[in-house]
Chains A and B, each alone.
Chain A
């Protein structure tokens, strides 16, 4: 019992190599509490990892706002014809 307790209290600190593997779990909110604490402890004192995390956030945010190329003219026309046929007035 005592051994288990001691091991949980003296957790190895997280290193950068491990940090990058946990970034998605962290952003998804799926890290268990003690893992999140290790992650955030490391984040707060590692410039390299906080830059990495910020870049991943930016990358994800940029994907969210990304305009897609429009469908080609023929596809667009075919869809509009279908729309008029199926949903158009009259």
Chain B
């Protein structure tokens, strides 16, 4: 939020670099979230473009009651819903939309519910404490491969860094639904990375 104030001042003063940085930071995530609402990539592109124009026009009216990025994503969701309605594509959010993969494949557990052998670990980078660079390169692809609602929730929560409450309001879903979608999304991303463990680098 403190960040926001400085950034806002620069944007309002016409600082092009500030705007470029803002676009670089959020454009990909905006596109991914838009794609969860509308039918085609080109409709998503339109929605994102309209969103940025809405941001530029609205900068002076933005009161800072939410964070800047929450505000930007709110504009996006409004635009995307309008477009989806126009294209007659309404997509109710639901945790139950897809047939579901288990969090961990059942064969990993013995009859008593314990691990048969300790689960395979994801390669980590000892310096950063994050996943290894090779795995990080595959993260976005894994996110893009998720069912739309899971993709939208994990994008907003884990990539953009919005809070649970903000995401519930933005998408008009219950707290429980939001959490189920997040849980399934994270579990699927982990499962998608597992075949890459230890075979690279």
Instruction: Please give the residue numbers on chain A whose beta carbons come within 8 Å of chain B beta carbons, in ascending order.
Output: 15-18, 20-21, 23-25, 28, 30, 46-49, 51-52, 55-56, 58-66, 68-71, 75-76, 78-80, 82-84, 86-89
For A21, give the chain B residue with the smallest CB separation: B103
- Number of A-B residue pairs, CB cutoff 8 Å, is 136
Question: In the complex, which residues of chain A have a beta carbon less than 8 angstroms from the beta carbon of B114?
Answer: 15-17, 48
Q: Answer yes or no: B158 CB below 8 A from chain A CBs.
A: yes
Interface of B is mostly: helix
Chain A nearest CB from B40 CB (Å) reads 16
Cα–Cα, bound, A24→B158 (Å): 12
Chain B nearest CB from A16 CB (Å) reads 5
Q: B186–A65 contact, CB under 8 A?
A: no
> Could you list some 28 contacts between A and B, CB below 8 A?
A15-B112, A15-B114, A16-B114, A17-B114, A24-B179, A24-B182, A24-B186, A28-B164, A28-B182, A48-B118, A49-B115, A52-B119, A56-B186, A56-B190, A59-B122, A60-B158, A60-B186, A64-B161, A66-B136, A68-B24, A68-B27, A69-B140, A71-B27, A79-B52, A83-B16, A86-B53, A87-B14, A87-B56
Cα–Cα, bound, A64→B29 (Å): 12
Q: Answer yes or no: B127 CB below 8 A from chain A CBs.
A: no
Cα–Cα, bound, A20→B122 (Å): 15
From A23, A83, A84, B183 is in contact (CB under 8 Å) with A23
Which B97-116 residues have a C-beta within 8 angstroms of A? 103-104, 106, 109, 112-115
